[in-house]
Structure 1
Amino acid sequence: DVITPAERALLVEWNDTARPIRDDVCIHALFAEQVARTPNAIAVAFEDDEVTYSALFERANALARHLRDLGVGPEVRVGLCLERSVDAIVAMLGVLMAGGAYLPLEPGWPSARKALMLHDAEARVVIVRHLGEADSSGWGAATPLALAALPVHRDRRPAGGLRVPATALAYVIYTSGSAGRPKGVAATHGSVIGLIRPPTYVDPRPGDRILHAATLAFDAATFEVWHALLTGATVVVLPPGPLSTTALARTLVEADVTCAFFTTRLFNLLVEEHLDALRHVATVLTGGERVSPSHMARALATIDGALLHVYGPTETTTFSCARTVTPDDPQGMTVPIGRALPDERVWLLDDGLRLCPVGAPGALHVAGIGLARGYLGRPGLTAERFVPDPFGPPGSRMYRTGDRARWRADGNLEFLGRLDFQVKIRGFRIELGEIEAALGRHSAVRQCVVMARTDDGGEARLVAYIAGDATPVAALRANLAESLPGYMIPSAFMWLDAMPLTPNGKVDRKALPAPELDREALSAGFVAPRTPTEAALAAIWSEVLGLDVVGANDDFFELGGHSLRATQVASRIAAKLGAEVPLRALFEATTVAAQARLVEAAAGVELPPIEPVDRRERLPLSFAQERLWFLDRLTPNTAEYNIPLAVWLRGPLNVDALSHALNWLLSRHEALRTTLPSDETGPWQRIAAVEAITLLPEPVEGIEALRVLVQAEALRPFDLVDGPVTRSHLWRLDDDTHVLLLNVHHVAFDGWSVGVVLRELSHAYVAFAAGAAPSLPERALDYADFAAWQRRWLSGEALESRLAYWKQALADAPVLDLPTDHPRPAMRSNRGASVPFALDAALTDGIEALCLAHGITPFMALLTAFSVVLSRHSGQDDIVIGSPIANRNRAELEGLVGFFVNTLALRVDLSGEPTVAGLLARVRKTTLDAYAHQDALFYMMIRALGRSTVIRCTPLFQVMLVL
């Protein structure tokens, strides 16, 4: 299990909501009881018409008599093809009092859609308003019944109509389904009663006035109508027709509405256009889609009553969770949806249907009284979406909502969006709702939807659909860039007159048009490169990003760039354009045009090119090699700088092909056969000729014996003078299992080199095994050329300018004083150990979400967290953490094997009690500044700062963070 017993107990406690209802209770019986209590109270107000509870009961009972005469009874479905009106509410009650279940249909729907639903539900009767409508074709086997033609008279049968149990079907509402076939959600009387019984999240009473603004076919009508009629309140019916926020605002004020539910988008529009109309509404509920915290904040600053954020799909009877939002709530990117309503349960589960701990995103499942029976006539789909609840009472079920959420520490749920609206763009998980919220804050955007579209090349990209005032895309992008990282800014923007809507009034994402697939449409406002520098940069971007066309105003991160690709761009700029542009500058100047200006400004300080040197000359060591040579002379015969690489080889092995591949690799990379002799003038590089190696598999019995042999070979010291600096060994466990050990001294190798060696060795092995030669192109440069080049340029002013930064950044850097369980020895032993661990998926998701929100990399996030932990344990607010960096800033160095890696000392300032956002911003700046000065080697920093290396702890930093 992924949670502890204590966490499980907490989740169970948060879901301890049991408030069972009687099995013999039904909606219309409760309504009859309310009629007896308040017969003269106003039940329904519609324009100038007001209907008392007793009058509404009489009209509904009269209709129930006609329906029973037509064969309506328990489980019989009756279509209601009616607009919002008093008649519609009479029809809903009348069907229930006859013992049947109502099926709302929108009059404006196509006849074929209405006919499909009536046929699918096997409706026996369909109720319409007028006789003319009754003559409409498309009712199929359903008998049309016109309300206007029915006489109104008293029904002398017992009050309350035909009593049915709580498990009886109350209504069927159709929602969109796959392959264009809608599915009918079958809700029971008990589900509705569970939604509205007081006291609960909303507690209406006689005299309250609840707005009915939803269409009958939208399940919000369930709350609006029955929450009023079963508590003695008044249903205020909004006149039918196209929804106008002006008319809605007028109704709120003139009808003295005290309680109203609005879909999220309608709520946002009211806040933007008619906020004063909400001022005196005692209870405002909103939900249905991801809410906008900024709109919530504006509403809270104005309204006098309560503001509730509610959540629930149709399959769980309108609402399953609710939470009152207050001005004291922390401001953030989301607003919690609260906790489960009475007799409801909410579980967040991982892919294995295990409970997710607090803070971990999970798939949202709802159980309890609100669950519908399932989908009418669709047992397979019902079984797929309504599954057994392993955490509830025996025999209980839960509904897989398809939504994603996480528990907050206070027991409230944070809605994270649809599972199918969560996309991964260029390695980052992205919630589309977050982009929509940011885009929706722009004054020109009335409504927006963001989708991930896949182009012909299989690449996913973000497309924004906008209804509103046409605005230059550049302005929208600039606005988004204020709150979102580059990879969350859509690559295409499409302006629409209006969003296509589903029958329930939500955006129909499936109906949104596909953007143009040609490259020029990828970025609106495409401008071709205008100068030679822009053209050269566009070519570099095309090469790095794999695109055919790049424009002058295209954004690097929008097109798929990230920090590693930015490093590649910087190295290619240096190689092809002869300009040294700091990586940090590329993070700030993200268009071709902006980078072109940087390149042209840097042209006067360009670095010299790396050129091949004559191998007959004495080859100098690189600065890093020189440092390792010195340490080797100081403490010889150690394995501290060995880099052993053990590779499991499974399946039949062609040993001859592997030997050829290894010899080819040694001939291709001089560093792997370089030694470091010296004389009175100092050390130099000597490149040995290739000596053919023949791998002879050594049999070994068992993993433990293999481990002993590998460890012994890995710890065998190297002789840097006589060599070799590379050793290989092959062990055979059985015919299909071998282990190849490559052991290389750090003077010729680093972490980046591991990837180069594995890729090229694999390529060569496949080629030789097939009887062919490796096809990789020859390289013009090798490590010795880099070393000579580095010696030429990294000196004098160039070196001093870089060291000046580190002198300032690390001046008076403190030693980390952790509360260890024993005193630190006088001399460090150089013994180390590792504690391997993995970040689980939930924590990884949380880190990625943090990065998305603050425009940082996972390394920056982990560095921040690590510094906070160290600060808490040490009591210090000035923390220095070491971290390696590849230090390959030029394109021609990317494919070389050698010792390039450098170590950076990153100083994190935690003083002044910064917020999380503030500390993340500090760490981002520190990291980017360090990247810009990475050429100065670590030992140079130590010398520049006057730190001793022969002390009881390592200089400059005592902990490292390595990803």
Structure 2
Amino acid sequence: MNNCTYDSIINMILYHVSASPDRVAVKCGAQRLTYRQLNEQSDRVAAYLEQKGAVSHGIIAVAMERTVQLVSVCLGIMKHGSAYLPIDIEYPEERIQSLLNNAKIEHIFCDAPVSIPQQFSEGIINPQDIINSCYQRKSSNLPNKETPAYCIYTSGSTGEPKGVLISHDGLLNHTQWFIDEFGVTEADVLLQRTSIAFDASVWELWTGLAAGACTVILPTAYAKHPLGILLTLQQEHISIAQFVPTLLRELVRLRQFEHMPCRLVFCGGESLTWELVDQFFSKTRSQLVNLYGPTETTIDVTFWRVEQGGGRDLPPPIGKPIRGMQVYLLDEHGAPVKQEQEGEIAIAGPGVAIGYVNTPSENALRFSTLNVDGKPVRIYKTGDIGIVSASGELSFLGRRDSQHKVNGHRVELLAIEQVVQQTPGVHCAAVYLDILASGEKQICACYVVEANVETHLLEQRIKQAVSAQLPAYMHPSQLYSLANLPLLPNGKVNHNALREMNANPSVITPSVAGDASTLDRLQAIWKEILSHQAISADSHFFECGATSLSVMMLLGRIANLFNVDLTPKDIFDHPILAQQAELLNGSARQCGENSLLLDAHAWRKRESEDTPGLAQREILEKPPETPAYLENVVMAFYIRGECSVARVREAFGAVLEQQPALRCSFDSTHTASGVVYNTPLMSFRCLFT
């Protein structure tokens, strides 16, 4: 990297536009953008905003699919001097309306089927129309360090979502530190996986481009599938990637993780555990880095290069401040604590946010000043509790607002969660506070069972661990076993969803004995379909050799044996045997007569012969998130000795002539699907070894 002085990351990107214009900057599936194309497209976006009279230093919303054009639009908005506000297109309409209203949005770049409220319809911009246009900028001015770069709303996991405005100075400081600290070069390939609605996506988007590297946007179809993520890491030769601990734990469980090509793996957004650290290093020699930073600062404030050695009295450290940032631990009166004492984490430096959008009362509460060596320093008070060890490393201990009064006692939910999480047989856990109709508070703990562990025995083990380590007033009133913990789009545990699931018995069920019958019957089905005897509760359907045809067979067996109508998406979302058993036990879609068979009968009566059958229709209507490697059923035949290619061709031709289903294709429209029968296949290839 050159040694120039920059005012923003835009200048850093433009350096590579000039130095290596034809190098690939962004990839997403088959899509490619070179640095020259990225610059040209972003210039058109900036020019369009100029002509529309969009005010600089304002906020422009972006609700787009995960494509290379997403990067062009966000870069163009920053070139214009505005901040981009990314909106996850999977958000419900109510949340989208709340964000747009709070940020007072006038312009929205949108190319996705998103429910934009009617009042904002006039401000919707089709990004493809702008990118394909010939708009020319009238001004070549670029933003300075004080100009806002992006606005991201907090997840709302600890309260009402608030819009956080970050400056180019903060983004530049983080980007330059990251490139220097971890030696990012043009040879690196960075993965962009995090939803753009969360601040972890910011460094994934811009660090690689500022270093002249290639950024690979993970296609939506793979974003929530661990196998799809690992496949992308290998196919794209990803060298730098980031995962929240919950997702990393799922990736480490897969045997393919051992072949992960990353030299650097970053972890953040949740507390890292020593157990996960050990699991990680048992599978790979990649460098693991633990990051910490609230949304109210520019992405990360501290970092720690993870090491297995040393004491483990405290959780894995979050390390020391990144270059240019300062961290202070304050007591309840706002004064610095003494050495090796707990305190609230307060942050200072260029990475501290400009503030919350249109919420002055919140700004006054969270952003304040601290007297440091006789000078006032602007700080953000995180509400997080930390402690600095004797070695100088900062550890995260929890949040102030996770301390609740229950029956007159002060209760630390994270302390309970840690005990449950560390119980042998627990894969992951979450603890939350539920308020009953009477107003009484009760502690609830949810956990995911590891493979080959009996649920009812594990519940007793958890109760014993809690009784041994915690006072009676901190014991959970309810224990729930889940197939998976519900997650927010950024990968964090969704505590609001846990509360909703608790109110819906069909979604979450208490830990009780009796799941074995479902598991055993489902295990027998797997063995029959997959011809695979080594099936356990932790087995992965597709890792055991399943194809899209296997999915259809499984759905049919489940419908007949359990009288439950599942969909292919259910199987893709719950590929583990134990997960499927849990899904069947909690399914609310049971009915008196098998709905799948009723659909088949209705289909035959309603449609003619020349339409796809029910099984064919299921295959044709696979959900868009179906991994690409499940698109086909592949068979290979190896013939030893002499073989007549002509006679093999003749035999296959005879079979094809007698079986129309083997030579049909489907002509589909938006209203119907018809069958077209082809002539028998007259040529094919035989490969001999």
TM-score range, shorter chain: 0.5 to 0.7
Match of 1:69 in 2: 51
- 1:112 to 1:450, Cα distance in 2 relative to 1, 3 A: closer
Residue type of the partner of 1:384? L
Match of 2:89 in 1: 107
Match of 1:205 in 2: 185
Residue type of the partner of 2:152? I
CA deviations 1:320-345 (Å, max 9, x no partner) are 00010123233445100001111111
Residue type of the partner of 2:93? S
Q: What is the SS of the residue equivalent to 2:311?
A: coil
For 1:424 and 1:202, the matched residues in 2 are separated by 44
Q: What is the SS of the residue equivalent to 2:100?
A: helix
- 1:136 to 1:376, Cα distance in 2 relative to 1, 3 A: closer
| Alignment of structure 1 residues 168-179 onto 2, 5 Å | 168-176=147-155
- 1:134 to 1:449, Cα distance in 2 relative to 1, 3 A: closer
- Does the 8 Å contact 1:404/1:415 carry over to 2? yes
- 1:459 to 1:257, Cα distance in 2 relative to 1, 3 A: same
Residue type of the partner of 2:495? R
Shift of 1:406: 0.3
Q: What is the SS of the residue equivalent to 1:140?
A: helix
Match of 2:236 in 1: 255
Q: What is the SS of the residue equivalent to 2:341?
A: coil
Match of 1:600 in 2: none
Q: Does 1:485 align with 2:471?
A: no
Deviates more, 1:371-380 or 1:391-400: 391-400
CA deviations 1:888-918 (Å, max 9, x no partner) are xxxxxxxxxxxxxxxxxxxxxxxxxxxxxxx
- Does the 8 Å contact 2:145/2:169 carry over to 1? yes
CA deviations 1:423-463 (Å, max 9, x no partner) are 57799876533443453456764542112456799986532
For 2:433 and 2:90, the matched residues in 1 are separated by 31
Deviates more, 1:411-420 or 1:172-181: 172-181
Match of 2:631 in 1: none
Q: What is the TM-score normalised by the length of structure 1? A: 0.48
Match of 1:79 in 2: 61
Q: What is the SS of the residue equivalent to 1:485?
A: helix
For 1:494 and 1:46, the matched residues in 2 are separated by 39
- 1:225 to 1:143, Cα distance in 2 relative to 1, 3 A: same
Match of 1:902 in 2: none
Match of 2:294 in 1: 313
- 1:181 to 1:482, Cα distance in 2 relative to 1, 3 A: closer
Shift of 1:89: 0.7
For 2:326 and 2:417, the matched residues in 1 are separated by 29
- 1:167 to 1:472, Cα distance in 2 relative to 1, 3 A: same
| Alignment of structure 1 residues 194-593 onto 2, 5 Å | 194-198=173-177, 199-241=179-221, 243-274=224-255, 276=257, 279-332=260-313, 334-391=315-372, 394-422=375-403, 431-440=412-421, 445-453=426-434, 462-467=443-448, 471-478=454-461, 481=464, 485-487=468-470, 490-496=476-482, 498-502=484-488, 504-513=490-499
For 1:454 and 1:144, the matched residues in 2 are separated by 41
For 2:324 and 2:208, the matched residues in 1 are separated by 20
Identity among equivalent pairs (%): 26
Deviates more, 1:223-232 or 1:325-334: 325-334
- Does the 8 Å contact 1:83/1:216 carry over to 2? no
- 1:272 to 1:229, Cα distance in 2 relative to 1, 3 A: same
CA deviations 1:360-390 (Å, max 9, x no partner) are 1111111111111110111111110011122
For 1:191 and 1:24, the matched residues in 2 are separated by 13
| Alignment of structure 1 residues 693-772 onto 2, 5 Å | none
For 1:443 and 1:154, the matched residues in 2 are separated by 62
Match of 2:170 in 1: 191
For 2:191 and 2:175, the matched residues in 1 are separated by 15
For 2:512 and 2:237, the matched residues in 1 are separated by 53
For 2:511 and 2:110, the matched residues in 1 are separated by 52
Shift of 1:139: 5.5
Shift of 1:60: 1.1
Match of 1:120 in 2: 102
Aligned partner (choices 36, 46, 51) of residue 54 of structure 1: 36
- Does the 8 Å contact 1:118/1:142 carry over to 2? no
Match of 2:13 in 1: 31
For 1:371 and 1:278, the matched residues in 2 are separated by 38
- Does the 8 Å contact 1:167/1:188 carry over to 2? yes
For 2:261 and 2:127, the matched residues in 1 are separated by 36
Residue type of the partner of 1:307? L
- Does the 8 Å contact 2:60/2:84 carry over to 1? yes
- 1:278 to 1:388, Cα distance in 2 relative to 1, 3 A: farther
Shift of 1:307: 0.7
Match of 1:661 in 2: none
For 1:192 and 1:496, the matched residues in 2 are separated by 39
For 1:45 and 1:315, the matched residues in 2 are separated by 29
Match of 1:864 in 2: none
- 1:434 to 1:451, Cα distance in 2 relative to 1, 3 A: same
Count of residues paired in the alignment = 499
Shift of 1:526: 10
- Does the 8 Å contact 2:62/2:110 carry over to 1? yes
Residue type of the partner of 1:250? L
Match of 2:71 in 1: 89
Residue type of the partner of 1:485? A
Q: What is the SS of the residue equivalent to 1:366?
A: strand
- Does the 8 Å contact 2:6/2:12 carry over to 1? no
Aligned partner (choices 101, 126, 134) of residue 146 of structure 1: 126
- Does the 8 Å contact 1:211/1:237 carry over to 2? yes
Q: CA RMSD in A?
A: 3.5
CA deviations 1:147-190 (Å, max 9, x no partner) are 2223536776599x531211111111112459985311011111
- Does the 8 Å contact 2:195/2:489 carry over to 1? no
Match of 1:590 in 2: none
CA deviations 1:853-892 (Å, max 9, x no partner) are xxxxxxxxxxxxxxxxxxxxxxxxxxxxxxxxxxxxxxxx
Q: What is the SS of the residue equivalent to 2:38?
A: helix
Q: What is the SS of the residue equivalent to 1:88?
A: helix
Residue type of the partner of 2:142? R
CA deviations 1:495-544 (Å, max 9, x no partner) are 34554444544223234338999xxxxx97899xxxxxxxxxxxxxxxxx
Residue type of the partner of 2:185? R
- 1:39 to 1:454, Cα distance in 2 relative to 1, 3 A: same
Shift of 1:22: 11
- 1:498 to 1:186, Cα distance in 2 relative to 1, 3 A: same
CA deviations 1:732-778 (Å, max 9, x no partner) are xxxxxxxxxxxxxxxxxxxxxxxxxxxxxxxxxxxxxxxxxxxxxxx
Residue type of the partner of 1:487? L
Match of 1:162 in 2: 141
Residue type of the partner of 2:126? A
Residue type of the partner of 1:204? V
For 2:109 and 2:59, the matched residues in 1 are separated by 11
- 1:484 to 1:93, Cα distance in 2 relative to 1, 3 A: farther
For 1:23 and 1:167, the matched residues in 2 are separated by 16
Which runs of 5 or more residues in structure 2 are unaligned? 504-508, 514-689
Which runs of 5 or more residues in structure 1 are unaligned? 1-20, 518-522, 528-963
- Does the 8 Å contact 1:84/1:237 carry over to 2? yes
Q: What is the TM-score normalised by the length of structure 2? A: 0.66
- Does the 8 Å contact 2:164/2:295 carry over to 1? yes
